[in-house]
A and B are shown apart, each in its own frame.
Chain A
């Protein structure tokens, strides 16, 4: 259920074609709406930042229908159509808002000539070092210069010299000679990251981007400046010189850092991830993500990664380990410590396993302070999934001392732990030693070390699945790279555990086979919904059943809990 504002549509004419656009749309966006890849080239404009109008690349010709000043009547052309009064000078598309009857030319001689002029100007002091520049392949200056440049230089004077390789902060490196002074990074830091650290010093052609004296570009969103820098001025210190971008495969994913669920893109080659960048989703993260979220992929190569299915420390096949886990559960008196890091699919299976083994279920909360932007209080990606799948029906506790007491009293004899190190969560090692532990997780910890059965699990980068974020949006992620060799997808191993509990033969499971079951048994999903059918921008679920749960998230960039509750409390269509 999306809340739609009623925006008036108006008709404007772009290059002779009438186009309906929402009133107030700027010309860059309006031209995009024409489709067919039509675009007004631009540098400084960014849909999520204030308008600066400084690059002058987006110039178009603009005209309005003419009216007689005195009578207000339309002035007609010979053919009876209303005459268009064209402005004598080009105007910038980014700061021109569509008005009824407006006429726009995006490719007239005047427009082409202005664009070519701007392109020439941007190149005269540019170092032209594309062969050693990381931005090559995704550089707007390179692209537009190929399209709008003259191919040779009329500039025979000496180029400006500016600072190179400046460390702006822990993660961002600046080459001032490449900077086209578009101020996107400045505006981003001020308007989105709320940390006004960047600015220009000196004047005119000597204008130089720099940090406020004594400060660094160190906020947790600093790498977004690298993403939006249209040229190679700002580069990621981590990604610099690692790989040409055109060699990289891009996979859609979801950031697991918090319940915001920022949409991301994983850039990989031959099974290795090189970087993670945000993917635009206006309902979730706009075009941004945290620096910390981008670094999460590094843990997949950690030394303590679990890579083998084991029973009492001895390597086994997945099936052997799954059967062993089922046997332990069948003995009864089990408890399952689930995880809000698991995908919806996995949580569905944990729920089935808990039901079939009559295990009690507990989850642990992972709360921390929020930044009000894209890092929410709940530092797990899928708490809503645990609720929707019915794995839990209320918010998780902060720790597990209740389970510890049951272990001590003998009421719990088997502990199925997903992702958590319970020794840090109120179940001391001596209590843990009294129970049989089944451990599912990506990395080793004190809990996994003494476990009877270990089922290694794939990370979000290595598997397909879905999460449900803070606003009950079902979002899909895809495997970008293969997991450790021999480790199979979590839900197929869990299917084996669940089947063994019922003494059935496990079904050969693909994610969409799993979804046949999931969609059928969970009311929030349409029966026909399959993983493959989930749109790229996610699917807003009906949250009515969960509105009374006191979730911890406070207002952040795209989510306002109060407004969310109000919007979802009213019946659809009202």
Chain B
């Protein structure tokens, strides 16, 4: 029996008859929260957001209210709000739906947030490939401006703020917040060093800046509606609100599904919500939070202690889908991209595919990532091309170890974690690959088998 979704952010996504124009949005109660917000004290909204415990939906899961608190308000410089709509993490497809089907929810969330932090100007940095989304947002902003929901003296409150939609430069690294800021400034999206360039102090144009994910900013609208406390009641302590899980891979019904945090386990998500695996297939592994999250092996036992001290002993299907549980099992909920792999998956090929992506996307600024990630790609490519060596597994792990934690931005980790975890959990397959190829070569056959790689 399928578990019922509980949609908050995706409430109207795919709802028959629901359109993305402002009239439809207002008919469904839209912009009431903005009307409420502008009558509140900005600092009170910030307090509500802090109390809600809402954590960032862009990848790192950092509490949004805390991030807002770090804003340097003493500098006297204007404050900027930036919505990160670069959605490029492989396996993630939620922000695009919000923009396409419910853009006003994002705009309302953004204007509430902008008012709360007293931003002078807000930006939506939208992935370059989302041209349709860009046009939808431009139109929606125009509609909202006509109704005085953004622009000068919003709803007579005396507060003015506009939204500028900035199309992305067509690279994954543009989603990293400081790279994104560089990109808005018109430069290559080279991430900045932190310290000193923490966006909350020295962000866009060297002014204090808040960067939040599309979903996070939508959450703010609901925090105004429910109050911080009310929002915090969704999910569990420390894992509040809902999450949109973007399930892809070898399941019968891939797609996006929204649940309160912890409301489903990974097993329920795969088997009940997504209709299970293809007939006759067995679960092999899951990457739970976008391709950079560490992979989980289906036959692993996960034991340890949660943050609050409770002990756990889980099989992969028992893992509750929330921030802390996925962290506790050594991975992360990341951007919510759940990639399911059944027993037809060749792990070397899967990793080669991931490595290809990261090697292609490194900005190239810092040595370990620029040189190390393409090296890993070359190794895995060679392995699938028929020249695998038994020692490649150790080499790959060693290269990844030389990258993670030594780079300018978290891309270094994003690119190393897959390698580290694939080798940690599937080393036997990497070694086996070399042995099989050697055997085939001995028999006079081509060492490489046909691959499904791009």
Interface of A toward B, CB cutoff 8 Å: 51-57, 59, 88-90, 92, 95-96, 113-114, 117-118, 120-122, 124-125, 154-155, 157-158, 180-181, 200, 202-207
Measured between C-beta atoms, what is the minimum distance from A67 to chain B in Å? 20
B365 in contact (CB, < 8 A): yes
Measured between C-beta atoms, what is the minimum distance from A63 to chain B in Å? 16
C-alpha gap A202/B362 in the complex (Å):
11
Q: Contact at B362–A203, with CB atoms within 8 Å?
A: yes
C-alpha gap A124/B370 in the complex (Å):
11
Measured between C-beta atoms, what is the minimum distance from A500 to chain B in Å? 68
Binds A, one of B102-110, B124-132, B188-196: B188-196
> CB-CB < 8 A to B406: which residues of A?
56, 59, 89-90, 114, 117-118
> CB-CB < 8 A to B370: which residues of A?
121, 181, 204-205, 207
Partner of B374, one of A53, A57, A205: A205
Interface contacts beyond A95-B196, A118-B402, A204-B370: sample of 19 additional A-B pairs, CB < 8 Å, sorted by A: A52-B193, A53-B408, A88-B405, A96-B195, A117-B368, A117-B406, A121-B368, A121-B372, A124-B375, A154-B395, A155-B375, A180-B367, A181-B365, A200-B364, A204-B364, A204-B373, A205-B359, A205-B374, A207-B364
Measured between C-beta atoms, what is the minimum distance from B414 to chain A in Å? 14
Measured between C-beta atoms, what is the minimum distance from A146 to chain B in Å? 18
> CB-CB < 8 A to B360: which residues of A?
203-204
Q: Nearest 4 A-B pairs (CB), nearest first?
A: A117-B402, A121-B371, A207-B364, A157-B378
Partner of B193, one of A92, A117, A121: A92
> CB-CB < 8 A to A55: which residues of B?
366-367
C-alpha gap A95/B360 in the complex (Å):
28
C-alpha gap A55/B359 in the complex (Å):
18
C-alpha gap A192/B361 in the complex (Å):
31
Closest partner residue, chain B, to A206 (CB atom): B364
B382 in contact (CB, < 8 A): yes
Q: Count the B residues whose beta carbon is within 8 Å of the partner chain — how many?
A: 31
Q: Contact at B363–A204, with CB atoms within 8 Å?
A: yes
B407 in contact (CB, < 8 A): yes
> CB-CB < 8 A to B122: which residues of A?
none
Interface of A is mostly: loop
C-alpha gap A122/B368 in the complex (Å):
8
Interface of B is mostly: helix
Q: Contact at B367–A157, with CB atoms within 8 Å?
A: no
Measured between C-beta atoms, what is the minimum distance from B352 to chain A in Å? 13
Q: Contact at B372–A56, with CB atoms within 8 Å?
A: no
Q: Contact at A205–B193, with CB atoms within 8 Å?
A: no
Instruction: Give B404-425 interface residues, CB cut-off 8 Å to A.
Output: 405-408
17 contacts across the A-B interface (CB closer than 8 A): A56-B408, A59-B406, A95-B196, A117-B402, A118-B402, A118-B406, A121-B375, A122-B367, A154-B395, A181-B364, A203-B363, A204-B360, A204-B370, A204-B374, A205-B359, A205-B371, A206-B364
Measured between C-beta atoms, what is the minimum distance from B209 to chain A in Å? 20
Q: Contact at B362–A95, with CB atoms within 8 Å?
A: no
Measured between C-beta atoms, what is the minimum distance from A395 to chain B in Å? 44
Measured between C-beta atoms, what is the minimum distance from B21 to chain A in Å? 38
Q: Contact at A158–B378, with CB atoms within 8 Å?
A: yes
B171 in contact (CB, < 8 A): yes
Q: Contact at A124–B365, with CB atoms within 8 Å?
A: no
Closest partner residue, chain A, to B403 (CB atom): A117
A interface footprint on B363-398 (CB within 8 Å = 1, 0 otherwise) = 111111011111100110010000000000001000
Closest partner residue, chain A, to B192 (CB atom): A53
Partner of A95, one of B171, B193, B364, B368: B193
C-alpha gap A180/B371 in the complex (Å):
10
> CB-CB < 8 A to A59: which residues of B?
406
C-alpha gap A88/B364 in the complex (Å):
25
Partner of B407, one of A56, A96, A180: A56
Measured between C-beta atoms, what is the minimum distance from B82 to chain A in Å? 22
C-alpha gap A9/B371 in the complex (Å):
39
Closest partner residue, chain A, to B402 (CB atom): A117
Measured between C-beta atoms, what is the minimum distance from B443 to chain A in Å? 24
Measured between C-beta atoms, what is the minimum distance from B385 to chain A in Å? 11
Measured between C-beta atoms, what is the minimum distance from B125 to chain A in Å? 18
C-alpha gap A18/B374 in the complex (Å):
42
> CB-CB < 8 A to B408: which residues of A?
53-54, 56
Instruction: Give B323-377 interface residues, CB cut-off 8 Å to A.
Output: 359-368, 370-375
Measured between C-beta atoms, what is the minimum distance from B437 to chain A in Å? 16
Q: Contact at A203–B367, with CB atoms within 8 Å?
A: no
Which of B359, B370, B375, B402 has the most chain A CB atoms closer than 10 A to its own CB?
Answer: B370
C-alpha gap A568/B170 in the complex (Å):
57
Instruction: Give B137-159 interface residues, CB cut-off 8 Å to A.
Output: none
Q: Contact at A120–B364, with CB atoms within 8 Å?
A: no
C-alpha gap A272/B362 in the complex (Å):
48
C-alpha gap A200/B365 in the complex (Å):
10
C-alpha gap A345/B406 in the complex (Å):
56
Known: A154-B395, A203-B362. A90 touches B368 (CB 8 A): no
Q: Contact at A121–B402, with CB atoms within 8 Å?
A: yes
> CB-CB < 8 A to B361: which residues of A?
203-204
Measured between C-beta atoms, what is the minimum distance from A59 to chain B in Å? 6
C-alpha gap A78/B407 in the complex (Å):
35
> CB-CB < 8 A to A154: which residues of B?
395
Closest partner residue, chain A, to B193 (CB atom): A53
> CB-CB < 8 A to B382: which residues of A?
157
C-alpha gap A155/B379 in the complex (Å):
9
Q: Contact at A200–B405, with CB atoms within 8 Å?
A: no
Q: Contact at A157–B379, with CB atoms within 8 Å?
A: yes
Closest partner residue, chain A, to B366 (CB atom): A54
Measured between C-beta atoms, what is the minimum distance from B378 to chain A in Å? 4
C-alpha gap A92/B361 in the complex (Å):
23
Closest partner residue, chain A, to B360 (CB atom): A204
C-alpha gap A96/B196 in the complex (Å):
9
Instruction: Give B430-454 interface residues, CB cut-off 8 Å to A.
Output: none
> CB-CB < 8 A to A53: which residues of B?
193, 366, 408
Instruction: Give B295-334 interface residues, CB cut-off 8 Å to A.
Output: none
> CB-CB < 8 A to A122: which residues of B?
367, 371
C-alpha gap A54/B403 in the complex (Å):
13
Measured between C-beta atoms, what is the minimum distance from B404 to chain A in Å? 9
C-alpha gap A180/B364 in the complex (Å):
10
C-alpha gap A117/B363 in the complex (Å):
19
> CB-CB < 8 A to A114: which residues of B?
402, 406
Measured between C-beta atoms, what is the minimum distance from A278 to chain B in Å? 27
C-alpha gap A52/B196 in the complex (Å):
11
Partner of A56, one of B188, B359, B367: B367
Q: Contact at A89–B405, with CB atoms within 8 Å?
A: yes
> CB-CB < 8 A to A92: which residues of B?
193
> CB-CB < 8 A to B188: which residues of A?
200
Partner of A54, one of B367, B375, B379, B402: B367
C-alpha gap A90/B368 in the complex (Å):
13
Which of B171, B193, B403 has the most chain A CB atoms closer than 10 A to its own CB?
Answer: B193
Measured between C-beta atoms, what is the minimum distance from A153 to chain B in Å? 11
> CB-CB < 8 A to A205: which residues of B?
359, 362, 364, 370-371, 373-374
Q: Contact at A56–B364, with CB atoms within 8 Å?
A: no
Q: Contact at B367–A118, with CB atoms within 8 Å?
A: yes
Measured between C-beta atoms, what is the minimum distance from A191 to chain B in Å? 15
C-alpha gap A218/B196 in the complex (Å):
33
Closest partner residue, chain A, to B371 (CB atom): A121
C-alpha gap A155/B407 in the complex (Å):
21
C-alpha gap A157/B371 in the complex (Å):
12
Q: Contact at A51–B374, with CB atoms within 8 Å?
A: no
C-alpha gap A124/B193 in the complex (Å):
25
Q: Contact at A118–B368, with CB atoms within 8 Å?
A: yes
Q: Contact at A120–B362, with CB atoms within 8 Å?
A: no
Known: A154-B395, A157-B382. A203 touches B368 (CB 8 A): no
C-alpha gap A117/B375 in the complex (Å):
13
C-alpha gap A8/B370 in the complex (Å):
39
